[in-house]
Amino acid sequence: MPTHFPKADILVIDDTPDNLNLLSAMLTEQGYKVRSVTKGSTGLRGAQVVPPDLILLDINMPEMNGYEVCQQLKASDRTHDIPVIFISALEDILDKVKAFSVGGVDYITKPFHLEEVLARIETHLTIRNLQKRLQEQNLQLQQEIRERRQAQEKFTKAFRSSPAPIAITTVADGRFVDVNPSFLRLSGYSCQEIIGHTAAELKLGIEPEIYNQAVAGLRETGTLVNQECEFRTKSGETRAVLICIELIELDGVECTLNIITDITERKRLENEFISLVSHELKTPLTSMMGALDILSAGQLGDLTDQGRRVLSIATTNAERLLRLINDILDLERMKSGKITMQKAKCNAAVLMIQATEVMQGMADQASVTLVTHPLPVDLWADGDRLLQTLTNLLSNAIKFSEPGGTVWLSAELKTGEAKVGNRDRRTVDAQSHEDAPPPSPSLLITVKDQGRGIPADKLQTIFERFQQVDASDSRQKGGTGLGLAICRNIVEQHDGKIWVESVPGEGSTFYVWLPAGS
């Protein structure tokens, strides 16, 4: 059978048994739980043990009258908030005033009407429930305020004492809202010189376009980790930094939290170490390659079959190591500006055909079909470096294709800027701006394969140094992990963009966007 919970718990204190029985029967019939006592002291003890939701209290009682009972109820924290309704035969206005003064919430004169008693009870129970709910909400609000204040205090302490430079800027216009002491030490500016200004106004060297693109990407990911860029101090010194950006809300304003790591010294030591090690390795390795060539030519005598296999393995690994060293040196020279693009007028179709011819042997060996759709478009570019980019991309596509697969190299002429990663970046619509000059044409080159594809979490890092989809690829495929980093550097030095789209298990498509024309 279903359980019926009482509407409320009511304590009735009256020394007249007839009144008790009448009120008890009436309230029980209406669904209330009723406790009845004839003495004030007994009622006080019962209220302390199990506080009721409401008390009906008579005034004229032996030993302790109703006024005294109510005063003791209100003096106790446990029973202070219980609503007390006086029911008495006393009709004098002074009796009523005293009842309210000791803490009563209502006064009903005897003989009472049952309907009136019920209406008063329901009214005060409703008021009491609303008071309880309000108290609970107030307690919850106070707790939330305390927690928020504690969180703000922790953030402020961490913000001020952090050894990492931190800045808060508005998303709308990129103005500095707050910076910590570490940021001031790095920049050389005072707080008054920075707050309210933008990075562009202070000439901090952070490219507005790159930063705005990073913030736009934040709306999809919520955070940006380790964006490398240059940072110019007040004295004009340029520092290499990594920026981590996160969207936050500050006093209702959308802002970015920018945490900066100064990697200038680390980059210098890294570049010196790579250059030193690469050069120190290249000389003995070149000598070793020569010795292996002499052995392979049989100038020092014939080798057994096992000897030739061992020699082949040694030659393959030596060639791979030499490629790695050359790629490291090439990339570092590009990044340091020691290699500049020798730009001249060249034709995209010629470069695409040359790249296909260079990689045809590798494709044949891998049983992969190369399909090229050259497009005769003039470019102002370093033809050798673009050829290097195309051969790198074709080499990757062939290596990760299954026998019998196909790799496509194609190009098309576009109007406007590149569409990178399914997101337009300032794409120009010539129809929408009649007075605007016609947008410059651009060339979009694609290299598409039917290989294993690239997982989504690798798409953003695949162009970094030594990044590969699988750690075993460098051994099984013979890659150095630097080819795509070199491609990106070459493309960016041509004011272009490179990106990849991929579906695991179906293949990848690499895109190279370049300004067209001479």
State residue 314's pLDDT score. 85
> What is the spatial distance between Cα 67 and Cα 15, in angstroms, rounded to a whole number?
14
Which tokens go with 118? 């019920």
Alpha-carbon dihedral sign for residues 420, 167, 238, 481: negative
Contact assessment for residue 409 and residue 390, using Cβ atoms and an 8 Å cutoff: yes
Which residues are paired to 256 by β-bridges? 169, 247
List CB contacts of 286: < 8 A, sequence separation 6 or more.
322
Q: Which of these three, 262, 279, 300, is where a domain ends?
A: 262
User: What domain count does the chain have?
Assistant: 4
Are 10 and 54 contacting, i.e. CB atoms less than 8 angstroms apart? Answer: yes
Each residue's pLDDT expressed in tens, for the chain with a length of 518 residues: 445 677 899 999 998 888 888 889 989 998 999 999 999 999 999 999 999 999 999 998 888 999 999 999 999 999 999 999 998 888 888 888 999 999 999 999 888 888 889 999 999 999 999 988 998 999 999 998 888 888 888 888 888 889 999 999 998 888 999 999 999 999 999 999 999 999 889 988 877 666 677 777 676 766 777 777 889 999 989 898 988 888 888 888 889 899 999 998 887 887 777 667 666 777 788 888 888 888 888 777 788 888 888 888 888 778 777 777 776 776 666 666 556 678 889 999 999 999 999 889 889 999 999 999 999 988 988 888 898 899 989 998 999 899 999 999 999 988 755 555 444 433 333 233 334 344 568 899 999 998 888 887 677 668 776 555 554 444 454 455 677 888 888 898 888 999 999 888 888 999 999 988 65
143 located within any domain: no
- Looking at the fold, whether 377 and 500 belong to one and the same domain comes out as yes
Same domain, 463 and 484: yes
Looking at the structure, do residues 493 and 471 belong to the same domain, yes or no? yes
What is the H or E stretch that residue 28 is in? helix 17-29
285/252 same-domain check: no
Q: What residue ranges in 330-474 does DSSP mark as E strands?
A: 344-347, 369-373, 378-381, 406-415, 419-420, 423-424, 441-448
* Residue 398 confidence (pLDDT): 93
3-state helix, strand, coil in the chain (%, to 5): 45, 25, 30
Do the domain assignments include residue 393? yes
293 is in which domain, residue-wise? 266-336
Please indicate, yes or no, if residue 1 is contained in any of the structural domains: no
- Residue 149 within any structural domain of the chain: no
Q: Answer yes or no: do 361 and 400 share one domain.
A: yes
pTM comes to: 0.46
CATH number where 414 lies: 3.30.565.10
Whether 147 is in a domain gets the answer no
Helix axes 264-296, 305-336, angle to 10 degrees: 150
Q: Flag whether 453 is in a domain.
A: yes
Last residue of a domain, one of 262, 278, 298: 262
Predicted pLDDT of residue 339: 61
Q: Are residues 438 and 414 part of one domain?
A: yes
CATH number, domain of 215, equals 3.30.450.20
**CATH number of domain containing 24:** 3.40.50.2300
Same domain, 112 and 81: yes
- State whether 322 and 428 are in the same domain: no
Residue 233 CA to residue 505 CA, distance in Å, equals 48
| Residues 112 and 130 placed together within one structural domain of the fold | yes
- Of the residues 216, 239, 262, the one at which a domain ends: 262
Nearest to 392 by CA among 336, 331, 349, 455: 331
Residue 150 counted as domain residue: no
Which of 449, 446, 365 is closest to 407 using CA atoms? Answer: 449
Same domain, 255 and 304: no
In this structure, the answer to whether residues 74 and 177 fall within a common structural domain is: no
Q: Do 332 and 360 lie in a common domain? A: no
- Is residue 487 in some structural domain? yes
